[in-house]
Structure 1
Amino acid sequence: MDLPVKATLELAMLASPVVELRQYTLKPGKRETLIDIFDSKLIEGQEEAGMTIIGQFRDLDRPDMFVWLRGFDGMDARKDALAAFYGGQVWAAHSNAANATMIDSDDVLLLKPAWLGGGFDLSGASRAGLPAGEKPSPNKAMAGIVVIRIHHLRRGAEIGFASRFEVEMPPLMTAPGIRHLAAFITEHAENSFPRLPIRAGENVFISVTGFDSAEAHASHEAALAASPAWEAFWQAARPDLTRPTETLRLSPTSQSLVG
């Protein structure tokens, strides 16, 4: 059955049926250099090529990690957008400077929304403009934090895990200062742009949550640890987990849409 027009329009406002979660290991002390280049030079060119630059972050627990998310309208659109950008003038002009900050840029998970409407809603998001010649300042990073939890699952378990999460988690995330932002599972389609590797063979469920502060996140974690419903969810999920959950505590840069 076709979706009603209103529902179709609402889903169209959600960002990207295909999303990359990219984690870059940088040379010591080079993160601010890359953020300066990325936020002031590389966003516009990628978006003109057909991508959505969803968010870019400093990892609060790993000082030499840069984490970012970008989205595409589909796998074919991903191929075309990446070919246009990496074969274009913007990347040619800034690639040497950007690559000089990096040790590894191949830690990439290819994702899709975990349920209908599970992606990012960017309908009210905007990116602050920068005056000509001004660099994004680390002092203008957003006050809140974004927490990404990566759950590694056995193949075939992701749909059941996502269904339980969609139903059982919202009541546990109603405290002030908490915002569920998105949820994803692995997109198992073949990499449509092999020039940029992805982590093949992964099977993950990813939740993305916004908090007003690091303190709000810590309080939320303490509340969850004391929650019987939280414990029951994880007791049921434990047989499907293949390794420990990864938790990324991230500070959005001043040019991130998500924060």
Structure 2
Amino acid sequence: MTECCAVLDLRQYTLLPGQRDALVDLFDEAFVEGQEVEGMHICGQFRDLDDPDRFVWLRGFTDLEARAKALNGFYYGPVWKARGGEANATMLDSDNALLLKPIELGPGFPALDAPRPPIGATEVPGSVVAGAVYHRRTVDDGFVEFFTDQLAPALAGTGAVLTATFETLDAENNFPALPLRDETVFVWLATFPSDSAYAEHRRLLAGSRVWQTKLLPELTCRSTTAPQLLRLRPTARSQFR
């Protein structure tokens, strides 16, 4: 899987009120193939279920050199020139972006040739892609081992189908026209077949003595601030669902 996603951007856009559906429609129509033709992999795009004005998406690259080439090709190319103004008109902030590298990509993470509904598809999946962004102190803090050995089994035991884990790629931003957040993070993503399955997962975590008295306090100690919890609905054309 790293042949398409050794480098990833996790991007979260804050939109003008009521503009998310317009951006989703534009993105699914013009910006999926429009970016992939330049050498990117649009892994997934989502509505944030806890913020009606947030759009979240992931794109992958084979390496940093490919990232610079692909972003230059797209943002100075014909598709963005023709449609970029429409996208920018929906946004309040597009600078919430993280540069990541994969730790593990499970079988549920979309490959380049994963099925994607055609342009014009409107049926939105009922699944939930959920996860968290944990804010760390350093890259050598043992967080990856803590997650793998302790947090991941607890999450899986409450119904989370872990799909991918990532951490910060410590590298200079090679496309400075798009700013990146300067921080060290760990990110996990998991899938749930329905809203009720996700709600049951949260209920089980809340009732877990191990999670509440051991894992959550240690997680708090290892983090510099409260995590960002993600609860996302794939768009009609998202491969990641």
Check whether TM > 0.5.
yes
Alignment-derived partner of residue 4 in structure 1 = none
1:74 equivalent to 2:71? Answer no
Q: Percent identity?
A: 42
**Residue range with higher mean Cα deviation, 93-102 or 168-177:** 168-177
1:58 equivalent to 2:41? Answer no
Residue identity matched to 2:73 = A
1:180 equivalent to 2:162? Answer yes
TM superposition score normalised by structure 1 = 0.85
C-alpha deviation, 1:29, in angstroms: 0.9
- Residue 33 of structure 2, aligned match among 23, 40, 44: 44
Residue identity matched to 1:44 = E
Alignment-derived partner of residue 252 in structure 1 = 234
1:196 equivalent to 2:185? Answer no
CA displacement 1:146-186 (0-9 Å, x = unmatched): 1130111112355x111121222343344596321101111
CA displacement 1:38-67 (0-9 Å, x = unmatched): 001111010010101011011111111111
Q: How does 1:17-32 map to 2 (within 5 A)?
A: 17-32=6-21
**Residue range with higher mean Cα deviation, 161-170 or 240-249:** 161-170
Compute the RMSD of aligned alpha carbons: 2.1
- Residue 222 of structure 1, aligned match among 179, 203, 211: 203
Kept in 1, the 8 Å contact 2:2–2:62? The answer is no
Give the Cα–Cα distance (whole angstroms) in 2 for the partners of residues 51 and 32 of structure 1: 23
- Residue 141 of structure 1, aligned match among 112, 124, 127: 124
Distance 1:152 1:19, change over 3 A: same
Alignment-derived partner of residue 103 in structure 1 = 92
Give the Cα–Cα distance (whole angstroms) in 2 for the partners of residues 105 and 63 of structure 1: 15
Alignment-derived partner of residue 207 in structure 1 = 188
1:87 equivalent to 2:76? Answer yes
Gaps of 5+ in 1: 1-10
Alignment-derived partner of residue 239 in structure 1 = 221
Q: How many residues align?
A: 239
TM superposition score normalised by structure 2 = 0.91
C-alpha deviation, 1:233, in angstroms: 2.7
CA displacement 1:84-131 (0-9 Å, x = unmatched): 111111111111111111111111011111x3557973247310113x
